[in-house]
Amino acid sequence: MGYPEDVLAPDEQLLLHRHPHWKMLFWPVVTLIVATAVAGFGAGMAARHLEGAARTPVLVAILVVWAIVVVWRCAARIISWKSTHFIITDRRVLIRQGVLTHTGIDIPMSRISSVQFRHGLFDRMLGTGTLIIESSSAEPLEYDDIPQVQRVHALLYHEVFDADRGRSDSGYR
């Protein structure tokens, strides 16, 4: 078993496991392309116009600046995307984030009082949106960039409705 199956209770069923939508990787990819093009241009100019001992430190400096920009603006965002998990089981909603410092929240299905989604024109074109979960004890929680947010909303709504129906059928109120 891999993640997230290893964090589930023995009889808990995984219904959905998603990372945020790929649109959050758009700007890191653009940054990578532009940084590489600028570094390549700078290295080409340095190789063409500088001679001997002056060329090497300039090329190393260009490489170091490129590496810093790529790690800071690209790699960190990709790792953040990959380490963010949105999970729905038959009992709860789990959100996990982080690599070095993990944060997470579990919302039992029985505590969810409302499920909403929001997506504008651009989000609809990409098939993503914001999922809003209201629980009985806190402010609404908003999760951006959920892929196929309408399907996730419908799944979560049906799970909450089935949990409510199960409690009312067994005499609990």
Give how far Cα 2 sits from Cα of 5, 21, 65, 140, Å: 6, 21, 37, 30
Please determine, for residue 168, whether its predicted confidence score (pLDDT) is greater than 70: no
Amino acid type, 106: D
pLDDT at 173: 38
Which pLDDT score, from 0 to 100, does residue 160 have? 87
What is the token pair recorded at 42?
């700078």
Q: Each residue of 92-129: pLDDT tens digit? A: 999 999 888 889 889 899 888 889 999 999 999 999 99
Buried b (16+ CB within 10 A) or exposed e, 4-18: eeebbeeeeeebbeb
Q: For the sheet containing 92-97, what is the strand order?
A: 14-18, 85-89, 92-97, 103-108
Q: What would the pLDDT profile of 28-53 be if each residue is shown by its tens digit?
A: 999 999 999 999 999 999 999 888 88
Are β-strands 128-135 and 141-147 bridged in parallel, bridged antiparallel, or unpaired?
Answer: antiparallel
Tell me 50's DSSP state: -
Q: Does domain 5-19+85-169 have CATH number 3.40.50.11540?
A: no
Region 4-25: mean pLDDT is: 88
Domains of the chain, by residue range, sit at 5-19+85-169, 25-80
DSSP secondary structure of 102-148? -EEEEEEGGGEEEEEEE--HHHHHHTEEEEEEEETTSSPEEEEEEET
pLDDT in tens, 123-135: 999 999 999 999 8
Cα 76 to Cα 136: distance, rounded to the nearest angstrom: 35
